[in-house]
Structure 1
Amino acid sequence: MSAAESRTPSWARPAPAARGTAGRILLGAFAAATAADLCALLVDWHLGHVLAKPLLMPLLIAHVLTLRAPRLLVAALLCGWGGDLALLFDADAAFLIGMGSFAAGHVCYLVLFGRRRTHPALGGAYAVALLGTVGLLWGDLPAGLRIPVACYSLLLTAMAYRSSALGLRAGLGGALFLLSDTLIATGVAEWPQLPRPDFWIMATYAAAQYLLATGAVAAAQGYGQAYGRTVLQD
């Protein structure tokens, strides 16, 4: 890293560039699969969604591997892939399995973020959001899902808050992940939904995972070393 780069805040630096042709091709394939999935959701083509959604995380994993991604990041994305596959099935058991897989991914992210500092005021804002959302949803959730959803929401909110330790890029990813899963929860609670709710869920989710992944890779490559922060280790 150059002296100029070391003085630049991590949020002001670009995402890490793909290494070689393979990395660029894989990133393009991830973008194409995401676009195909979102288009399928917009036109209500279920088969297109079923075909495209399972490709997203493997392509993103392959891309970040070209950037020498930390193992915990790969594990988190693999857990996300497991959750993606489970949620393709419309059953309570599949929903719980998917939620458990995503929860495992959040644990991987939390360990990956380590003990880096985050702003206490942001933590307070996330705490208010957690209590308010769970409180409002509680009575409308199926009785058997209330405790699991509340526990998952706590873990998800902790991940979203701690993601800001890696800078603005990862912090935005964590916030979008929280938004995406909140949209899912409002659907389970049978609240009024936006038109094409699955489109918004997948759009925010795909963006969240991309921002978290590239933010973590940037930190792993040393971009997060500004102002004396420790370089992320896996």
Structure 2
Amino acid sequence: MDELKSQAKLVLALFGAATLANLFSKYAKLFWLEQVSKPLLMPLLMIFFFVQIDNKKNPTFRLTLAALFCAWVGDAALLYDKTNSLFFLAGLSAFLVAHLIYIFIFRSSVVSPSGRTWSQIGLDAFPFVASGAILYGYLYTWLSFEMKIAVFVYAAVIVLMVYMALQRTGQVSSQSAKWVYYGAFFFIISDGCLALDTFVYGINIPYAGVVVMLTYLIAQFSIVRGLILEIEERS
């Protein structure tokens, strides 16, 4: 057990170092450093997750690794999104699959009826649906026909992902629920900043690349931490 904890701390330290390197690469516009650091992020988080879980047969364990692998594919593709739009679409598709896997994981956490009425469900969902609709409405005029469809689908999926994260409240421990919900919320911030910076001509988000990656990595780590807690409490 002590050895596993030491391994987890080492991997977490390496993840932190890779994160700092990647954020500095975005800040200093050092593409070579980004090429080195970015592909390391999700594999290190996967290893951290792997060494923390004893029950490797747990479906949530396997699905979380699959989601992180899809995120790694998305990270790699988005490194080259400026050279060819196909890389952007490949990255978007990979993250779409990752979010769908997270939705399935969060839905599987809900093991008993919530007792919420349809009006309560609507009130829960309204802030996320409204924020997604406002952002999409703002982006709409800047998007090509194909991207209007792609961004609409992606926005709908990530809003659903955040909503399903919220539905875990009362179904799992409060700490697990909070970690996952905050992670999902930071995903909205990250993807929103990325969309504005990518599609809106002339917008100037200070250090947009740093903001996008920082909130993205907080999101991924928070979700992983929350799911570790859930797997541990249900093992």
Q: Give the TM-score band, short-chain normalised.
A: 0.7 to 0.9
Residue of structure 2 equivalent to 1:78: 69
Task: Report the secondary structure of 1:194's partner residue.
Answer: coil
Aligned to 1:32: 17
Aligned partners of 1:100 and 1:144: how far apart in 2?
Answer: 13
Question: Is the alpha carbon distance of 1:155 and 1:63 closer, same or farther for their aligned partners in structure 2, counting shifts above 3 Å?
Answer: same
Q: Is the 8 A contact 1:18 1:67 kept in 2?
A: no
Offset of residue 18 of structure 1: 9.4
Match of 1:88 among 79, 83, 91: 79
Structure 2-normalised TM-score? 0.83
Where does residue 5 of structure 2 map in the other structure? 20
Q: After TM superposition, give the deviation of residue 201 of structure 1 in Å.
A: 0.4
Q: Greater relative contact order: 1 or 2 (C-alpha under 8 angstroms, separation 6 or more)? A: 1
The number of residue pairs the alignment matches comes to 208
Shift of 1:135: 1.2
Q: Which of 98, 104, 108 pairs up with 1:111? A: 104
RMSD of aligned Cα (Å): 1.9
Unaligned runs of 5+ in 1: 1-16, 223-230
Structure 2: how far apart are the matches of 1:136 and 1:59?
36
Q: Assess, with a 3 A threshold, how the Cα gap between structure 1 residues 98 and 56 changes in structure 2: closer, same or farther.
A: same
Residue 148 of structure 1 is matched in structure 2 by 150
Please state how far the C-alpha of 1:25 moved relative to its aligned partner: 0.5
Q: What amino acid is aligned across from residue 232 of structure 2 in structure 1?
A: Q
The amino acid of 2:46's aligned partner reads I
Q: TM-score, normalised by structure 1?
A: 0.83
Q: Which residue of 2 aligns with 1:170?
A: 180
8 Å contact from structure 2 (residues 139, 200) kept in 1 = no
Shift of residue 160 of structure 1?
A: 1.7
Q: Deviations over 1:177-199 (max 9, x none)?
A: 11111111112222513222111
Identity of aligned residues (%): 26
Q: CA deviation at 1:140?
A: 1.3
- Which stretches in structure 2 are left out of the alignment for 5+ residues? 169-175
Amino acid at match of 1:170: V
**CA–CA separation in structure 1 for the residues paired with 2:35 and 2:162:** 27
Aligned twin of 2:192: 182
2:24 aligned counterpart, secondary structure: helix
User: Which residue number in structure 1 is paired with residue 171 of structure 2?
Assistant: none
Q: Which amino acid aligns with 2:74?
A: G
